[in-house]
C-alpha cells in the first residue's frame, strides 16, 4: 500500500473514477459522497491525504479544509475543481490547500499530485514540533510549570471540571473521596485541594493504607503511649495528631481492614480518639481526603467496606478521568514533562515529531499519567538528539506506528484496521455471492434481498471482484 487517501465528492461517478485510478496504483481509498460522513472519518481514521470537492450539500470543501487545518495541521488537502471554478480552487490554495486537481481527471496528473501530497505528509510527520526553541547564548532549559500555581496539567473539559470542583470545595471542611484508575493524579488532586484551602499553611499528612500492615495502621493513625506494646519505648503521636488543623490524606482507603474502618468512623463522627494504650481523649480538627482506585460501592456490596463509612467519606465524590478519555491533554502533558525532565535530567530536549506524538495520542495508557511520565523519561534517556522521534518509542508503543510500505502488503500484517477491513470485505463478498446464487445471478433481485440499490450492488461487486454467472 502506498498510502491511505480519503476522497469526498457528492457525485458518485467522480469518487468512482478517482477510486479506480488510485487503487490501480495500490493506494487505499476511503470514499464518501456525504461530506458530514467524511468529516467523521477524518476524525476517526488515519489517512495520509484528503481529496475533496469544493461544492457539496452540507459542509463544503473549504469547511473540510478548515477542519483539517485545525485538527490535523500536517494533513494535506487537495481540492477538486471543474473548469470554471479554478478561481475558487486558487482561493482554497491561499487558505492552505496542498494543491488542486481538475475535472476531467488525467491519470498522470492525479497520481502526480497524490504521490507528492502523500510524500509531503509522511515527511511533515517527521519534522519536529519544537516546544522549547534554543536561543543563542542561553543554556537550554525547559519548564512550563508556573511555580506556585497548580502543577496539574489539563486543558480538556474533563480536567477543567475537576479544577472547578477543587476551587469550589477547597475551603469547606467536608471529606472528599477521589476515585480514579491508577496513575490518574489522585494524590496530586488531594494535595491541590489542601493547597487551595485555608489549611494550606498547616500540614498535609498522608498515609497509604495498602502499604502498612493491618496491625500497624491503628498505631500509625492514632499514635501510641509508651509501653502500649512491646517495642513502644516512647510515646508517639499518630498521623491524626500530626495533621491537626491541616489535611489527612488516606490513600487506598479500600484496603483498610474492617476493624479499623469502625475506628476511623468514630473519629470522623466525633473528631476525637485515644492513642493506643492511652486513656486521655485527644481532640483534633482534621480535614480528611481519601483516594481509591477500587469501586468502593462494589466493596460495600460485597461486605468488604462499611456502608456507613462509605457515606461519611463520599460527601464530595471526585472522579478523575482516565488519560485515554482525555487524549486532548496528551500534547500538553508531553510538553510539560519534557520541560520537567529537562530540569531533572539536565537535558535540552526541544520537541517531538508529530508521528511520535500521534502514537502517544493513540495509545490507551492503562497506567495513565504515571505511565506517560515513565515512558517519556525512558525515551528522553534513550534519545540521542534533542527531538523525540519514533525510534525512541518503547516496544509496547511502537506497535502503533503506521506500517512501512514493504511490510504492509504481507499476510502477517497485524494492523487492526486492515484486518477488520479485510474481514468485512470477506463477509460482504460471502453475502453477495450467496444472494446472487439464490437469485440465479439476477442482480436486481439480489440487490433487493441485500437492501442495496442495483447500482450500489454493482459497485460493490466490482470493488470486491465478484462476477455474476448468469443474469
Ligand atoms: N494532570 C497532571 N498533570 C501533571 N502531572 C500529573 C497529572 N496527573 C498526574 N500527574 C503525575 O503523574 C504521577 C501519578 O500521579 P498520582 O500519584 O497523583 O496518581 P495516583 O492516582 O495517586 O496514582 P496511584 O493510583 O498509582 O497511586 C505523578 O508523578 C504526578 O505528578
Ligand atoms: Mg496514589
- Report the CATH number that the domain containing residue 85 is assigned in CATH: 3.40.50.2300
- C-beta 373 within 6 A of ligand 1: yes
Ligand number, closest to the Cα atom of 377: 1
437 plus 394 within the same structural domain: no
- C-beta 368 within 6 A of ligand 1: no
Please check whether residue 249 lies inside any domain of the structure: yes
23 plus 60 within the same structural domain: yes
DSSP string over 214-261? HHHHHHHHHEE-TTSSTT--S-EE-HHHHTTTSEEEEETGGGS-HHHH
Q: Taking the C-alpha atoms of 363, 366, 369 and 372 in order, what is their torsion angle to the nearest 10 degrees?
A: -50
Cell of 382: 534513550
Q: What is the pLDDT of residue 40?
A: 94
Please check whether residue 138 lies inside any domain of the structure: no
166 plus 312 within the same structural domain: yes
Report how many domains make up the chain. Answer: 4
Q: What is the Cβ-side half-sphere exposure of residue 107, based on CA atoms within 13 angstroms?
A: 6
Please check whether residue 84 lies inside any domain of the structure: yes
The residue whose CA has the least distance to atom 25 of ligand 1 is: 182
Q: 251 to each of 177, 187, 205, 256, 294, how far by Cα in Å?
A: 10, 8, 11, 10, 11
Q: Tell whether the torsion through CA atoms of 401, 407, 413 and 418 is positive or negative.
A: positive
- Report the CATH number that the domain containing residue 191 is assigned in CATH: 3.40.50.300
* Distance from C-alpha of 193 to C-alpha of 177, rounded to nearest angstrom: 12
* Distance from C-alpha of 369 to C-alpha of 389, rounded to nearest angstrom: 20
- Report the CATH number that the domain containing residue 396 is assigned in CATH: 1.10.8.60
Last residue of a domain, one of 321, 345, 369: 321
252 plus 188 within the same structural domain: yes
Cell of 306: 462499611
194-225 pLDDT, tens digit per residue, is: 999 999 999 999 999 998 888 889 999 999 99
- C-beta 188 within 6 A of ligand 1: yes
Burial of 55 (0-12, 13-18, 19+ CB in 10 A): middle
The residue whose CA has the least distance to atom 8 of ligand 1 is: 185
- Report the CATH number that the domain containing residue 448 is assigned in CATH: 1.10.10.60
The residue whose CA has the least distance to atom 13 of ligand 1 is: 370
227 plus 281 within the same structural domain: yes
Q: 67 to each of 39, 75, 215, how far by Cα in Å?
A: 8, 10, 60
Q: How far is the CA of 373 from the centre of ligand 1 (A)?
A: 9
334 plus 312 within the same structural domain: no
Residue 51: φ, ψ to 5°: -110, 120
- C-beta 152 within 6 A of ligand 1: yes
Residue 202's nearest CA partner among 222, 223, 173 is 173
338 plus 315 within the same structural domain: no
- Residue 8 DSSP SS3: strand
328-379 pLDDT, tens digit per residue, is: 899 999 999 999 999 999 999 999 999 999 999 989 999 999 999 999 999 9
170 plus 249 within the same structural domain: yes
* Distance from C-alpha of 351 to C-alpha of 357, rounded to nearest angstrom: 10
Last residue of a domain, one of 77, 108, 124: 124
Task: Tell me which of 188, 190, 195, 326 to substitute to probe ligand 1's pocket, judged by most ligand atoms within 8 Å of the beta carbon.
Answer: 188
DSSP state of 88: H
Please check whether residue 335 lies inside any domain of the structure: yes
Please check whether residue 206 lies inside any domain of the structure: yes
Please check whether residue 469 lies inside any domain of the structure: no
Q: What is the pLDDT of residue 44?
A: 87
Q: What percent of the chain has pLDDT above 90?
A: 67
* Distance from C-alpha of 433 to C-alpha of 467, rounded to nearest angstrom: 9
Ligand number, closest to the Cα atom of 206: 2
DSSP string over 350-389? -EE-HHHHHHHHHS--TTHHHHHHHHHHHHHHH--SSEE-
Q: Tell whether the torsion through CA atoms of 146, 151, 155 and 159 is positive or negative.
A: negative
* Distance from C-alpha of 433 to C-alpha of 446, rounded to nearest angstrom: 9
Please check whether residue 134 lies inside any domain of the structure: no
Task: Tell me which of 178, 185, 253 to substitute to probe ligand 1's pocket, judged by most ligand atoms within 8 Å of the beta carbon.
Answer: 185
- Domain of residue 259: give its range: 157-321
Contact 331, 308 (CB under 8 A): no
Last residue of a domain, one of 393, 409, 425: 409
* Averages of pLDDT over each 10 residues, the chain, 471 residues: 91 93 94 95 92 93 94 93 80 92 88 95 90 70 45 92 95 95 96 96 95 89 91 91 96 93 92 92 95 95 96 95 94 95 93 93 93 96 93 86 48 55 77 87 88 82 72 45
- C-beta 154 within 6 A of ligand 1: yes
397 plus 430 within the same structural domain: no
Please check whether residue 148 lies inside any domain of the structure: no
297 plus 272 within the same structural domain: yes
36 plus 99 within the same structural domain: yes
Contact 282, 242 (CB under 8 A): no
Task: Tell me which of 369, 371, 373, 374 to substitute to probe ligand 1's pocket, judged by most ligand atoms within 8 Å of the beta carbon.
Answer: 369
402 plus 435 within the same structural domain: no
Amino acid at each position: 500500500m502506498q498510502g491511505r487517501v480519503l476522497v469526498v465528492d457528492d457525485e458518485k461517478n467522480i469518487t468512482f473514477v478517482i477510486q479506480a485510478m488510485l487503487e490501480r496504483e495500490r493506494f487505499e481509498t476511503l470514499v464518501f459522497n456525504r461530506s458530514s460522513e467524511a468529516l467523521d472519518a477524518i476524525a476517526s481514521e488515519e489517512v495520509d491525504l484528503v481529496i475533496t470537492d469544493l461544492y457539496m450539500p452540507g459542509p463544503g470543501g473549504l469547511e473540510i479544509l478548515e477542519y483539517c487545518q485545525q485538527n490535523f495541521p500536517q494533513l494535506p488537502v487537495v481540492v477538486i475543481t471543474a473548469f470554471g471554478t479554478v478561481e475558487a480552487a486558487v482561493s482554497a490554495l491561499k487558505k492552505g490547500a496542498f494543491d488542486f486537481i481538475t475535472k476531467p481527471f488525467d491519470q498522470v496528473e492525479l497520481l502526480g499530485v497524490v504521490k507528492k501530497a502523500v510524500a509531503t505528509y509522511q515527511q511533515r510527520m517527521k519534522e519536529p514540533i519544537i516546544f522549547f526553541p534554543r536561543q543563542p547564548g542561553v543554556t537550554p532549559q525547559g519548564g512550563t510549570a508556573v511555580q506556585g500555581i497548580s502543577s496539574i496539567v489539563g486543558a480538556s473539559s474533563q480536567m477543567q471540571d475537576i479544577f472547578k470542583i477543587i476551587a469550589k470545595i477547597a475551603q469547606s471542611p467536608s471529606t472528599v473521596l477521589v476515585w480514579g484508575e491508577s496513575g490518574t493524579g489522585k494524590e496530586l488532586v488531594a494535595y491541590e485541594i489542601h493547597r487551595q484551602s485555608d489549611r494550606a499553611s498547616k500540614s498535609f499528612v498522608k498515609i497509604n493504607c495498602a502499604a502498612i500492615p493491618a496491625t500497624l495502621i491503628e498505631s500509625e493513625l492514632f499514635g501510641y503511649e509508651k509501653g502500649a506494646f512491646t517495642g513502644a519505648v516512647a510515646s508517639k503521636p499518630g498521623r491524626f495528631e500530626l495533621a491537626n488543623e491541616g489535611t489527612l490524606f488516606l490513600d487506598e482507603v479500600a484496603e483498610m481492614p474492617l476493624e479499623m474502618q469502625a475506628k476511623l468512623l468514630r473519629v470522623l463522627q466525633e473528631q476525637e480518639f485515644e492513642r493506643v494504650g492511652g486513656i486521655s481523649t485527644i481532640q483534633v480538627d482534621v480535614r480528611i481526603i481519601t483516594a481509591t482506585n477500587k469501586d468502593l460501592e462494589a466493596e460495600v456490596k460485597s461486605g468488604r467496606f462499611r456502608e456507613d463509612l462509605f457515606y461519611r467519606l463520599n460527601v464530595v465524590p471526585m472522579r478523575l478521568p482516565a488519560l485515554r478519555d482525555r487524549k486532548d491533554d496528551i500534547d500538553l502533558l508531553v510538553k510539560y514533562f519534557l520541560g520537567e525532565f529537562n530540569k531533572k535530567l539536565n537535558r535540552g530536549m526541544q520537541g517531538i515529531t508529530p508521528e511520535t506524538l500521534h502514537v502517544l495520542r493513540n495509545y490507551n495508557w492503562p497506567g495513565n499519567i504515571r505511565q506517560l511520565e515513565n515512558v517519556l523519561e525512558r525515551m528522553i534517556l534513550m534519545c540521542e538528539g534533542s527531538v523525540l522521534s519514533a525510534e525512541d518509542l518503547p516496544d509496547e508503543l511502537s506497535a502503533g506506528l503506521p506500517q512501512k510500505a514493504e511490510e504492509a502488503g504481507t499476510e502477517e500484517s497485524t494492523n487492526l484496521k486492515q484486518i477488520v477491513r479485510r474481514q468485512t470485505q470477506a463477509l460482504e463478498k460471502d453475502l453477495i455471492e450467496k444472494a446472487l446464487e439464490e437469485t440465479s445471478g439476477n442482480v436486481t433481485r439480489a440487490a433487493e434481498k441485500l437492501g442495496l440499490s442495483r447500482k450500489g450492488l454493482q459497485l460493490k461487486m466490482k470493488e470486491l471482484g465478484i462476477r455474476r454467472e448468469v443474469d
